Amino acid sequence: MRRTAAPGTLDTQGRVRKSDWSEAHIMESKLKTRLGPAKTAILFAMLAATSGCHQATQVAAKSATPVRLADVTLYSSSEGLRYSASILPFAQAGLSFKSAGYVTEIKQVVGADGRRRDIGPGDYVARGTVLAQIRHQDLKNQLDATAAALTQAEAQHLDAAQDYERAKHLYSTDSLTKPDFDRAQERFDSTSGAVDQAKANLHQARLALEDADLTAPFSGYILSRNIELGDLTGPVLNALGTQAFTIADTSAVKIGFGVPDYAVRQLRLGQEFTIRLQNDPKEYKGRVTSIAASADEKNRVFAIEVTVPNPKSYLKPGMIASLKLAGVPNTPVPSVPLGAVVGDPASPGRYAVFVATEDSGKWVAHLRPVTLGETHESDVAVDGVKPGEKVVVVGAAGLKDGDFIQIVP
């Protein structure tokens, strides 16, 4: 049996149904007959007002979702500063031959297979070890040539000195003209300069012969070798950036990183750092050995250098170290309860929170995307909200952006 809606019933869109208006006209005709036109009009006006109030109450009750709010707070981690940086050797040097020449010898060591081989990357050498040599004969010939040039220059200077002494005596007795005396003095000065130049060339030739043996300036490990027997090496290859050997001292290692201005104020020389390596439970201790006096112009951070003793060479150049400095808090960041975080419907895999704002006495929930940070207890650090804002922590799952909310304690 079909049920007829009572007069004033609303459809899903809040409008009076057409069938309802038909029955209302029939009822109006009957009431006019019984009550008269004036009383009938008053009665229908009261019914309309009652229907309108019922409709507004229904819409408001449907749109206002009960929720509980929480304030956005600031959180600062108590674990201290954490950084990741690459390990560097305490000292590193690129070794090259100063003079041009053919490589005639490279130091040999006994390999793991028992056979002798040329020294190479990974081999340890002590300070003063001869790593390679270039052909000595070429440099000896240069040394002999400069020595002969010095002998000739000294002989010429001796002859010029005798002429000069004679000229001074004759000039003092007015037996020599002034131009002749000046020429004798000029020759003496010139040959004296030639002797000095020849001595310098001889000294340089001796150094070149000494530099024919490429030695380790400190004890350390060979990082690279770029020469072979018979190679022609020298200044030309050095200008191209080719170095014979690269050696590193890893008895201690350095770790460099940058800190912001609020942290550099709390650092001091000698301050201890804790260093860890990935997949290594052991902790290493290092101390601050350098603090930059000014911030980098590009990233505005201060360069810090930490030196770590490495007597057993566990720490290798190029490893990534994680550093922790206790007692220096991180920059405070906004934090919200974990219950406030919901999935962002517009960006799958991302997160958001509902920020509650009050407008003309009504509270509205606005969806705002956020980036999650470090969790702490039942809260999480987020980027995208400001301290003091209110977020929905209970009832957020069923909300949509722009929904009206009703705050419950």
54 and 157 assigned to the same domain: no
pLDDT category at 32 given cuts 50, 70, 90 is very low
Q: Is residue 212 part of a domain?
A: yes
The SS3 assignment for 356 reads strand
Q: Is residue 1 part of a domain?
A: no
What pLDDT was estimated at residue 278? 80
Q: Is residue 239 part of a domain?
A: no
- Residue-wise pLDDT tens digits, 173-202: 888 899 999 999 999 999 999 999 999 999
42 and 119 assigned to the same domain: no
- Residue-wise pLDDT tens digits, 348-405: 888 999 999 998 889 999 999 998 877 777 888 898 999 999 999 998 888 999 999 9
Q: Is residue 228 part of a domain?
A: yes
Q: Where are the beta strands (DSSP E) in 263-376?
A: 272-277, 280-291, 302-309, 320-325, 333-337, 342-343, 351-359, 362-376
120 and 147 assigned to the same domain: yes
47 and 144 assigned to the same domain: no
Using the 3D structure, point to which of 204, 232, 260 is the last residue of a domain.
Answer: 232
H-type alpha helices, 211-303: 235-239, 261-264
- Residue-wise pLDDT tens digits, 253-280: 999 988 888 778 888 899 888 888 888 8
Q: Is residue 324 part of a domain?
A: no
58 and 71 assigned to the same domain: no
Rounded percentage of the chain residues whose pLDDT exceeds 90:
50
The model carries a pTM of 0.57
Question: Residue 179 sits in a domain of what CATH number?
Answer: 1.10.287.470
393 and 349 assigned to the same domain: yes
99 and 225 assigned to the same domain: yes
What pLDDT was estimated at residue 61? 46
What pLDDT was estimated at residue 23? 44
What pLDDT was estimated at residue 366? 93
Chain centroid to CA 277: how far? 18
pLDDT at 69 over 80: yes
Using the 3D structure, point to which of 232, 250, 276 is the last residue of a domain.
Answer: 232
Structural domain span for residue 400? 65-77+331-407
Domain count, the chain: 3
What is the H or E stretch that residue 38 is in? helix 37-63
User: What does the mean pLDDT of the chain come to?
Assistant: 82
Using the 3D structure, point to which of 232, 254, 282 is the last residue of a domain.
Answer: 232
- Residue-wise pLDDT tens digits, 309-326: 999 989 999 898 988 766
pLDDT at 16 over 60: no
User: How many angstroms separate the first and last alpha carbons of the chain?
Assistant: 48
Q: Is residue 251 part of a domain?
A: no
120 and 22 assigned to the same domain: no
pLDDT at 236 over 90: no
Q: Is residue 352 part of a domain?
A: yes
120 and 183 assigned to the same domain: yes
188 and 139 assigned to the same domain: yes
Q: Please, are residues 365 and 64 in contact by the beta-carbon 8 Å criterion?
A: no
140 and 189 assigned to the same domain: yes
Burial (0-12, 13-18, 19+ Cβ within 10 Å), 38 = exposed
32 and 69 assigned to the same domain: no
Question: Residue 353 sits in a domain of what CATH number?
Answer: 2.40.420.20
Mean pLDDT: which of 57-61, 77-81, 327-331, 378-382 is highest?
378-382
DSSP 39-104: HHHHHHHHHHHHHHHHHHHHHHHHH-EEEEEEE-EEE--SS-EEEEEEEEEEEEEEE--SS-EEEE
Q: What are phi and psi of 213, to 5 degrees?
A: -100, 115
Task: Identify residue 366 by its one-letter amino acid code.
Answer: H
What pLDDT was estimated at residue 310? 94
Q: Is residue 50 part of a domain?
A: yes
Buried b (16+ CB within 10 A) or exposed e, 335-344: bbbebbbbeb
